[in-house]
């Protein structure tokens, strides 16, 4: 049987990566991060889809639809991490594993970033490894789709 695909989702403002605040989020653009993720996916022999949206509703819809087509989700929910009960409920209802990732270590930042609605329903959280958080997240998802 063909291996299941992994859906990689990016939340609001991550389309600005590489253009502003490089001291926090690094110098790579989201397109450059996608390239690195695609290289690792090829190495691991898995197919991925990589998407970004600034819209909470669109992200919720993508999460809802994922179970039909994907074996796992890797998500950087960005600011919705800390606010979105709707995304939490969508992940909770999903039925496939979700890995939460962050470029920065949200636990070392402002107190309002310490709580994640997604962490409560994700398999685990990877935060603080810069762009490598995406690669570690994909490795975690690759393991999860074998199980």
Q: Is 25 a catalytic residue?
A: yes
Stretch that binds ligand CA2, among 17-25, 31-39, 50-58, 84-92 (CB under 6 A): 17-25
| Binders in 88-107 for ligand CA2, by CB under 6 A | 102-104, 106
129 by Cβ neighbours in 10 Å (0-12 / 13-18 / 19+) ranks as middle
Size of the site for ligand CA2 (CB under 6 A): 16
Q: Does 20 bind ligand CA2 (CB under 6 A)?
A: yes
- Helices of type H across the chain: 22-25, 30-44, 56-69, 85-94, 132-146
Q: Is 115 a catalytic residue?
A: no
Contact letters (x/-) for ligand CA2, 29-68, by CB under 6 A? ----------------------------------------
Distance CA 35, CA 63 (A): 22
Distance CA 96, CA 73 (A): 8
Distance CA 26, CA 128 (A): 11
Residues of this chain that interact with ligand CA2 (CB under 6 A) are 13-14, 16-17, 20-21, 25, 76, 78-79, 81, 102-104, 106, 113
Active-site positions read 25, 102
């Amino acid at each position: 049987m063909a291996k299941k695909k992994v859906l990689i989702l990016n939340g609001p403002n991550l389309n600005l990566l590489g253009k502003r605040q490089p001291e926090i989020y690094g110098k790579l653009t989201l397109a450059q991060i996608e390239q690195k993720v695609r290289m690792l996916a090829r190495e691991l022999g898995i197919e991925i889809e990589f998407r970004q949206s600034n819209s909470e509703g669109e992200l919720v819809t993508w999460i809802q639809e994922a179970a039909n087509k994907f074996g796992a989700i890797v998500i950087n929910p960005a600011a919705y991490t800390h606010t979105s009960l709707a995304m939490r409920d969508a992940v909770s209802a999903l039925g496939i594993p979700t890995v939460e990732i962050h470029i920065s270590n949200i636990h070392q930042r402002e107190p309002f970033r310490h709580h994640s609605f997604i962490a409560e329903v994700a398999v685990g959280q990877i935060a603080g490894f810069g762009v490598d958080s995406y690669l570690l997240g994909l490795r975690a998802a690759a393991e999860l789709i074998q199980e």
